[in-house]
Each structure stands twice: as structure tokens, then as C-alpha cells.
Structure 1
Amino acid sequence: MKKFKLTDLLIFVVTAELVGALSALLAGDFTSFYAEVIRPPLSPPAWLFPVVWAILYALMGISAYMIWNNRKNELRRSSALKLYYIQLAVNFSWSIIFFRFRAFALAAAAAVILFFLVGAMILSFRRISPLAAKLNIPYLVWLGFASYLAVAIYFLN
């Protein structure tokens, strides 16, 4: 384990937050669109999404920093970080697919794929840092719920 560096940690957290912010910006006005679609039971209010995502992106950034900062096994670390960046790219694209392009079927598929990618990432992280893996459990739970919403919205609309 390298020495803790606050600057490096902040780079990881801010990068993850910026991915979310840029995705939201490119997705367009999601609140009015979200109000227009037929939503399934248990759909949360629109204001909850940015709050939850801000927390989840921070946790993602912290966990990725923990993996990056661990120098015990370079091959595992490299593999885990590749999964992190792949899931982050799919995460980035989801809002754009759903809100900007309104491609509900593709968005539902992307949500399910993202769920499995994050599951694989957590398993990969766990081999390096159990704490880094645990930090992503809320993300996986939220993605399970988001997948339910995406699939249901596809069928309802």
C-alpha cells in the first residue's frame, strides 16, 4: 500500500463525480421527461436521483482510489481498475441513452449489463481490498433497483 495522498483521492472522487455530471448534462432535462413517462410502482421522486448518484459516485471514487493505491498485486489491480473504468463508461452512457435518445430497450439492457459489470467489479475489488468492494454494495443495490425501473419503464411505455 502506498502512502495515503489526499490529492490523489480527490482526483478519483472528482473524476467519478464529473462523469456523472457530464452524463446528466448531455442527457438533457430529465425531470420533465421523467414526469411524462409511465412509471412503475416504487418509482422515487425525480429529486432523489441526483442525491443518490452524488453519494454513489463519491463511493466509487474512494473505492477506486483504494484499489489504485494498493500495490500488492499489479495484475489484479490493473484488471480491477479496467472493470471500474468499463462500468463507469457504461454508467456514463445510460442517462444519455435513456433521457436524450429515449431508447428504452437499449437503456434497459444497459442497466442490466451495468448491474453485472458492477457485480464483477466488486468481486475483483474484494480480492484486493474487501473494504473497497463493500463501498460499492450500495451502488449494486441501487443498480438492481434502477434496472427494475428501466425494464419496467420499457414495458410500460
Structure 2
Amino acid sequence: MSIHIPNILLTIPRNPVVAVGLPLALGFFSGGDSSKVANSNWYANLVTPPGNPRREVFPFVWTLLYASMGYASHVAVKALDSTVLEANKNALSLGLALYYTQLGLNYAWSPLFFGQHKIGLALVDSVLLTATTCWMTKLLDRPTDAKATYFLLPYCAWLGFATYLNAGTWWLNKNRGHKRL
């Protein structure tokens, strides 16, 4: 199974600065208004599940995760450039396609949750994002000699936790008049 990725999407992660900069920029634009909403009455009135960190934690964690995922894309494209095994090419190509898919899902989450207050739809996005990222991490593991995995495992773990927070928030507020889907 061969996946074709447009050259521009392979060129971006070849430069490590651009590879790291892309998810950082997308995260900044996607979540730019979330701090305003996190200080709003709407957010303050949400019931959240146990273990919800202070809101000041999120920008620091996400900055590290965006940088890490970007560097993992650099590792993956470098492995793709040097591999001769067809199985590795296929895994890396699909992994990079999933990388861009998860970037899109990641970009959509903040506007859904914070912008539109669609907690349930944000949860669907979060589940898809987590599954896509875990699949991507598995695909990139062997062909990168686990280098990409080192950068992606914290992201996978955080997405699992973030999905729990989103699910708990949806569940605890589903009958309180908040928009769900």
C-alpha cells in the first residue's frame, strides 16, 4: 500500500526549524482565543473531572508537545529520504500522512471547544486525534529506530489525558444547558 504525499508536505519537515515551527504556529493560531474563553463565565461554570490541571499549565505543556511533534516529523521525513526498504517507505509515508491529519484535528479542537462551546464535537475530535496520533506513532517507530517514538509518546500520553478531561467535562455538563454537539 503506497501513499503519495505532495512534495511540499515532505519539504516542510526536512528543515528542523520549519518542522518545529509549523505546529507551534498552528497551535498559536488555533488556541489564541482560548485563554480569553478560559477566563470567561462560560468556562468558569463548567464542571470538570478530577485531575484537571490549572489553566496556566496548558500553554507550557502544549508548546513542548508542538515542538516535539514537529521534530518527530523531521525525524520521519529524514528516515523516508534514506530508507531503501519498501515496507519502511510505506509505513513512513502513511505515518507522515497521519501526521498532517492529526495536525488538522489538533487545529480544530480549540475552536470547537472554546470558540463554539461544542464540547461533544470537540470530544469526537479528541478521540480521532488520539487514535490517529497513536497509529502514527506505531507506524513511525520501527522505520525511525524509535527516534520518532521518543518525541511522540509524551504527546500520545497527554492526548489520552486530554481526551479524559474532554469526556469528563462533556459528561458532567451534558444536562446543564451547555452546547454538546
Q: TM-score, normalised by structure 1?
A: 0.90
Q: Does 1:124 align with 2:133?
A: no
2 CA distance for matches of 1:69 and 1:95?
A: 31
| One-letter amino acid matched to 1:104 | I
1 CA distance for matches of 2:45 and 2:77?
A: 42
Q: Does 1:62 align with 2:71?
A: yes
Q: Structure 1 residues 28 and 100 mapped into 2: Cα distance closer, same or farther (>3 Å)? A: farther
Aligned-pair CA distance for 1:116: 0.7
- Report sequence identity in percent: 32
Aligned-pair CA distance for 1:74: 3.5
Aligned-pair CA distance for 1:40: 1.2
Counterpart for residue 86 of structure 1: 101
Residue of 53, 57, 76 corresponding to 2:91: 76
Q: Does 1:137 align with 2:137?
A: no
Q: Is the 8 A contact 1:122 1:134 kept in 2?
A: no
Aligned-pair CA distance for 1:148: 0.6
1 CA distance for matches of 2:161 and 2:68?
A: 18
Counterpart for residue 14 of structure 1: 21
Counterpart mapping for 1:43-54 below 5 A: 43-54=52-63
Structure 2 regions of 5+ residues with no counterpart? 1-13, 174-181
1 CA distance for matches of 2:89 and 2:156?
A: 25
2 CA distance for matches of 1:150 and 1:18?
A: 23
Q: Does 1:96 align with 2:96?
A: no
Aligned residue pair count: 151
Give every structure 1 segment of 4 or more consecutive aligned residues whose post-TM-superposition deviation is greater than 6 Å: none
Structure 1 regions of 5+ residues with no counterpart? 1-6
Q: Does 1:25 align with 2:32?
A: yes
2 CA distance for matches of 1:155 and 1:53?
A: 24
| One-letter amino acid matched to 1:154 | W
| One-letter amino acid matched to 2:131 | F
Greater C-alpha Rg: 2
Q: TM-score, normalised by structure 2?
A: 0.78
